[in-house]
A and B are shown apart, each in its own frame.
Chain A
Amino acid sequence: MHELSVCQGLLDQVAGIARQHQATGVKLIRLRIGPLSGVEPQLLERAFPLASAGTIAEHAALAIETLAVRVRCETCGAETDAAANRLLCGACGDWHTKLVSGDELLLVSVELTTVAWQEVSSAH
């Protein structure tokens, strides 16, 4: 399964951002993953502790938001829910649709614990 490589890519990204901001730790990582992204959120959650051990994100919580599959019909213009393997228009049944959401594979945000603040606070 490729979730481990996706997870390692994610951790490289997060580590780069943490370095840039001189963070001492990563508290929270928010992801958005659609059913048509090809990545299984549950497998990613299971891979995360293995991949993050010994990295700056070792103690980070992983929050994964999944979006519904939605399509917009190019024939009738309706926007409807769809199943991942049946992207037909829910209104007229045509297959000429465009995906509105459902294939996201995004790093939405990270929450960092920063050195800068600790320096400021010790000066107080």
Chain B
Amino acid sequence: MCNTCGCNVTPGNAQLAQQKDANGESALTLLENLLSANDRTAAHNRAHFDEHGVLAVNLMSSPGAGKTALLEATIDALKNEFRLAVIEGDLETENDAARIRRHGVLAHQITTGSACHLDAHMVHTALHHVPLAGLDILFIENVGNLVCPASFDLGQHRNVVLLSVTEGDDKPAKYPVMFRAADLLLLTKTDLLPVLDDFSPERAEGFLRALANPAPILRLSARKNLGLDGWLDWLRTGVRARKQQAAVRQAQSPLARPAMASKPAMDSVQRFQRVDHSA
């Protein structure tokens, strides 16, 4: 039972959920997630990824923390091992997608105009340009921003947050929503640590743990090709897990898969129709 999809409204409490008072006003108790339209599309995206056994990784950071540079180094290291694709999110320009394409990988650029984040609908539209069949990893490079992207589920399996050592080590304390969402924290540009005496990786870790987040923390420099092994192994583990899950799904219910991928989630209107009937 959750507080997001309305499944907490049952025949037993439906009369509480819909009360019409003497003034011709009806009060509906909903307890629905405010971003339920986004979350439904995100679940739909995730079903597509799962159907194809694709690991979807959402990369988030401030602008300039090195997301694209990390992807370039990752592609160079893994392109003979895995099939990769990238969805790029920026307010303007195709620059980042062009950078990725130069490394021989399919990249689709989303330009958000003035929107400060990607949402599940934008990613869903982008997926029409990114064939998932045969793909191992889809990277979604979110708009550089430590605030808004944290609120929108895109359908990804993992959130990776980058913190470059040229930023403050107290960023996790300043942007708790973002850093709480991290499944992996990458400290980037660590080749610069010797000349930056005000960034302490230990302090950064302390601030992340203070958010009750047990996520692993890895240090690397994409430009200098340092410390990438831990990150690449983390990706390999993720790919293996997705493939295993896809195999299990296929073995368990071959008939259920296409239905799940194509059938849209029941929306709130339909749910209330059902409640009305039972009440």
Binding stretch for chain A, among B45-53, B144-152, B247-255 = B144-152
CB of B151 within 8 A of CB of A37, answer: yes
Please give me the residue from chain A that is nearest to B273 by CB atom.
Answer: A20
A1 in contact (CB, < 8 A): yes
Residue interface bits A102-120, CB-to-B below 8 A is 1, else 0 = 0011111111111001101
List the B side residues contacting A37 at CB < 8 Å: 151, 177
Whole-angstrom distance between the alpha carbons of A17 and B4 in the complex?
A: 15
Q: Are A13 and B24 CB-contacts (below 8 A) given A95-B212, A106-B31?
A: no
Please measure, in the bound complex, the distance between the C-alpha atom of A92 and the C-alpha atom of B162, giving whole angstroms.
Answer: 30
User: Given A85-B211, A87-B212, A107-B30: A16 and B268 within 8 A (CB)?
Assistant: yes
Nearest residue in B to A39 (C-beta to C-beta)? B151
CB neighbours of B37 from chain A (8 A):
9, 12-13
Q: Chain A residues near B268 (CB, 8 Å)?
A: 13, 16-17
Asked if A21 lies at the interface with its beta carbon under 8 angstroms from chain B, I say yes
Interface residue from B25, B212, B267 paired with A99 (Cβ < 8 Å): B212
Tell me if B25 and A38 are in contact (CB < 8 A).
Answer: no
Asked whether A106 and B3 contact (CB < 8 A) given A5-B115, A20-B273, the answer is yes
Determine if B34 and A31 form an interchain contact, defined as CB atoms under 8 angstroms apart: yes
Interface string of A32-61 (1 = CB under 8 A from B): 010011110000000000000000000000
CA distance A108 to B8 in the complex (A): 12
Question: B175-215 vs A: 1/0 string, CB under 8 Å?
Answer: 01100100000000000000000000000000101111010
Q: Quick one: CB contact mask for B146-169 with A, threshold 8 Å, 1 for yes?
A: 011011100000000000000000
Contacts of B38 in A (CB 8 A): 9
Question: Which residues of chain B have C-beta atoms less than 8 A from A104's C-beta?
Answer: 3
Report the Cα distance A66→B27, complex, angstroms: 20
B117 at the interface (CB under 8 A from A): yes
Chain B binding surface, main DSSP class: mixed
Is there contact, CB below 8 Å, between B24 and A117? yes
CB distance from A32 to the nearest CB of B (A): 8
A118 to B267, alpha carbons, bound, how many Å?
A: 28
Q: Nearest chain-B residue to A10 (Cβ)?
A: B34
A91 to chain B, nearest CB (A): 14
- Report yes or no: B210 in contact with A111, Cβ–Cβ below 8 A: no
B1-43 CB mask vs A (1 if < 8 Å, else 0) is: 0011000000000000000100011111111111111100000
Contact A85 B176 (CB under 8 A): yes
In contact, B35 and A21 (Cβ under 8 angstroms): no
B35 touches A105 (CB 8 A): yes
Q: Is the CB of B25 within 8 A of A27?
A: yes
Task: Tell me if B176 and A84 are in contact (CB < 8 A).
Answer: yes
How near does chain B come to A107, taking the closest CB pair, in angstroms? 5
Contact for B35 among A6, A85, A88, A118, CB less than 8 A: A6
Nearest chain-B residue to A31 (Cβ)? B34
- B173 at the A interface (CB under 8 A): yes
Question: Shortest beta-carbon distance, B61 to chain A, in Å?
Answer: 16
Q: Give me 18 A-to-B residue pairs in the complex whose CB atoms sit less than 8 angstroms apart, sorted by A's number.
A: A2-B117, A2-B147, A5-B119, A9-B36, A9-B38, A13-B32, A19-B269, A20-B273, A37-B151, A38-B177, A88-B212, A105-B151, A106-B32, A107-B32, A108-B30, A108-B31, A110-B27, A118-B24
Please provide the 5 A-B residue pairs with the shortest distance between their CB atoms, ordered closest to farther. A117-B24, A38-B151, A2-B148, A85-B176, A38-B177
